[in-house]
Amino acid sequence: MQRFLIFIFTFLNTLSLYSQSSLPPGSYTSTNKKAIKYFEESKKMFQIRKDTEAEKLIKKSIEEDPQFIEAYSAYADFLMGHNRVKEAIPLYEKAIQINPKLFVDNNFYLGGALLHEAQYEKAIPCFEKILKTERINPNLKDESARFLKNAQFGANAIKNPKPFKLTNVGPGINTGEYEYFPALTADGNTFLFTRNIREGEGVNAPRQEDFYVSKKVNNIWQTANPITSVNTVGNEGAPSLSADGEIMFFASCMEMTGDYGSSDRKGYGSCDIFYAQKLNGKWTKPRNAGPMINTKNWETQPSFSSDGKTLYFIRGMVARDGIKNPDIYSSTIGEDGKFSEPIKLSDNINTLEGEESVFIHPDNQTLYFSSEGHPGMGGLDIFMSKRQADGSWGKAINLGYPINTFADDNSFLVDANGKFAYLASEREGGFGGLDIYQFELPESLRPEKITYVKGLTYNAKTKAPVEASFELIDLETQQSVTSAYSNSAGEFLVTLTSNHNYLVNVSRPGFLFYSDNFSLKDKVADYNKPYQLQIPLQPIDTGIIELKNIFFDVNKWDLKAESKAELQKIIAFVKANTSLKIEFSGHTDNSGDKVFNKTLSNNRAKAIYDYVIEKGALPATNLSYKGYGDSKPKAPNDTPENKAKNRRTELKIISK
């Protein structure tokens, strides 16, 4: 809301607060010589920045002539400039009451003051008056139209409040200092945030921003500890965690020395985005996200998508008087592992005013952000936008009152479950300064329902954990929904939208790739019981991979569209292992005619063989195919379930 006040005050030229009259120079609405004398002396004191003396004199001017319109207006402007908004309101009202037509601009400033104090109904006619006035500063008209929308929205929102009950997250996280910008892992057990600590005594002592992390034990957040490997003598803030908590993006801002509080953390501009990875339980030395993301301007407040592909962040122009028009951008990591040229999100998200505090939910479909450009309660409000079927972002939806208020509202986070939201606020009954609170998010404002999947990749022969790359693909759309790496302990954690079927592909050099599929349809997301995947990887030898994501219609050998992702994986594997001799094998159960089954299995194996050669532009030298019919069952053909196991296609390593 402070920026809102600054904006209002830009229309109040600080050197001409005492000369608003449209009367001839030297003429005033007052004829009282003492009142005019005090007014003129007050003006001189104000111009030489002696505000205390200026205020005393302007008060005396009003005492001498209680009908002196210029004195009321100037004093109200003075109070607005000093953030004493509530005191300014009756002065503007008095000036307008004395003569509503003489200083019409006062309606704009009164409306702004009322909006700041959440007196929305009273603010509406003030802005309407400006819009009805013919000869007036066009900028005032444009801004009055914008503020009128806020006043109308605020008046309606207060009449229709959202259910809202804040709960302090507790002393493990909050202290007498300032805590804000939370980040949370998908399993909800690790909480990362920024703590702003005053270094030294007195209100003017410098402050230091650092990262702290807390773990949840028995549903209670434990005492947070600093992340010493990332924190520096400079400022770090606005962290964003990957779903598994293994990658952290954050902002670090340049000091006057030209670095980021550390000789090894160089940047490109005023604030840059950095990232660190967790190896063996410890964070690596942060690295700059690079010149594609960072520029000479202001880049901050990153949010990393759960699929591990897209970084959302804020970029603003650096000017002498601050950051101009911050907007939300996104950049995608390509096949080469590098960030793409960032694009500014559409005007459904970004406005001509400022946007900040962007957060992409783990569902990868719901974007939350703060904006002062969309209709809201005034200042920065929190909004939500849903990704549309064509990939675009839908219309911004205000989260409503009292989630949003007349104060600036940001530092917003929604947990992976979509049930609880977090924000930073300074409220009575807290621990002091800004505290982090949680509340239950209304159903209409929640993201898509998701669950999370925990997996373990290990050597099938030795049982030892191995690091591996994995990819999860939506079987219906054939679109990759996430790709990443398991850690050194072979563990990975990803979030997935519920009610879909997924293909999982896992690979590591020196091992056969792993292929499987699983269904989250009709499964309720239970964050106490995540979906578990155990993934054994076979060392490349004379092994067999069952191609569980190759699909055919009954008694047919035409490859179905859902097989594409698996086929591309096969092509990549063959290209990476050109010395291997590989056979594609087809198998059936014992139902039906044996001759037909042999033909069916052979044709299915050939369909894979033909696709790999044609689409992969590969020679047939080391590739072959064969159909075995029902001659090599995996299980007895005695139940429907066992018969299904026997109907399969395989990739078999013949020799190295």
My answer on whether 136 and 192 are in the same domain is no
- What b/e string do you get for 558-592 counting C-beta neighbours within 10 Å, with b at 16 or more? ebeebbbbbbbbbbebbeebeebebbbbbbbbeee
407 domain residue, yes or no: no
The percentage of residues in the chain with a pLDDT greater than 90, rounded to a whole number, is: 58
- Tell whether 268 and 122 lie within a shared domain: no
Contact assessment for residue 215 and residue 190, using Cβ atoms and an 8 Å cutoff: yes
pLDDT value of position 506? 92
**Is the same domain home to 601 and 617?**
yes
Q: What are 350-407's pLDDT values in tens digits?
A: 999 899 999 999 989 999 999 989 999 987 899 999 999 888 999 999 999 999 987 7
pLDDT by residue (tens digit) across 527-574?
Answer: 567 788 899 999 987 688 899 999 999 999 999 988 998 999 899 999
Mean per-residue pLDDT for 49-74? 94
Q: Specify whether 531 is located in the same domain as 567.
A: no
Q: How many domains does the chain have?
A: 4
Amino acid at 311: L
- Which of residues 515, 539, 563 is at a domain's end? 539
pTM: 0.79
Question: pLDDT value at position 203?
Answer: 65
Q: What is the CATH number of the domain that holds 533?
A: 2.60.40.10
**Which pLDDT value is given to residue 229?**
87
pLDDT in tens, 72-126: 999 999 998 888 999 999 999 999 999 998 889 899 999 999 998 889 999 999 9
Examine the domain organization and report whether 128 and 260 are in the same domain. no
Please determine, for residue 13, whether its predicted confidence score (pLDDT) is greater than 50.
Answer: no
Using 50, 70 and 90 to split pLDDT, how confident is the model at 235?
A: confident
pLDDT digits (tens, 9 = 90+) for 300-328: 999 999 888 899 999 998 887 778 889 99
Helices (H), 67-175: 69-81, 85-98, 105-116, 120-132, 138-159
Last residue of a domain, one of 524, 539, 554: 539
Same domain, 211 and 270: yes
Measured distance CA(492)–CA(534) in Å, rounded: 11
- The span from the CA of 236 to the CA of 228, in Å, is 11
**365 falls within a domain:** no
CATH number at residue 56: 1.25.40.10
Residue 488 in this model has a pLDDT that exceeds 60: yes
**What is the predicted pLDDT for the residue at 523?**
65
Indicate whether 401 belongs to any domain. Answer: no
d(CA 344, CA 88): 39
- According to the model, what pLDDT value does residue 186 have? 82
Does residue 254 sit in the same domain as residue 320? yes
Same domain for 439 and 454? no
Residue that finishes a domain, picked among 134, 159, 184: 159
Q: What pLDDT is attached to residue 587? A: 97
**Segment 441-470 mean pLDDT:** 91
Domain-located, residue 377: no
179 and 308 share one domain: yes
Q: What is the mean pLDDT of the chain?
A: 88
Burial code (b: 16+ CB inside 10 Å, e: under 16) for 249-278 equals bbbbbbeeeebbbbeebebbebbbbbbbbb
In a domain, 128, yes or no: yes
264, 179: one domain: yes
Residue 390 lies in a domain: no
Structure confidence at residue 254 (pLDDT) = 61
8 pLDDT higher than 60? no
User: Looking at the predicted structure, is the pLDDT value of residue 280 above 90?
Assistant: no
Assigned domain for 558 exists: yes
Q: Structural domain of residue 65, as residue ranges?
A: 2-159
- DSSP characters over 218-229: TTEEPPPEE-TT
Q: For residue 237, is it within any domain?
A: yes
Per-residue pLDDT reduced to its tens digit, 510-529: 899 898 888 887 766 565 67
500 and 556 share a domain?
A: no
Look up the CATH number of the domain holding residue 605.
Answer: 3.30.1330.60
How confident is the model over 414-441, as a mean pLDDT?
Answer: 91
pLDDT attached to residue 14: 37
Average pLDDT over residues 165-175: 95
The confidence score (pLDDT) of residue 269 equals: 77
Q: Are residues 98 and 23 both part of a single domain?
A: yes
Instruction: For residue 181, give the nearest of 410, 2, 366, 427 by alpha carbon.
Output: 410
Helix (H, G, I), strand (E, B) or coil at 433: coil
Q: What is the predicted pLDDT for the residue at 125?
A: 97
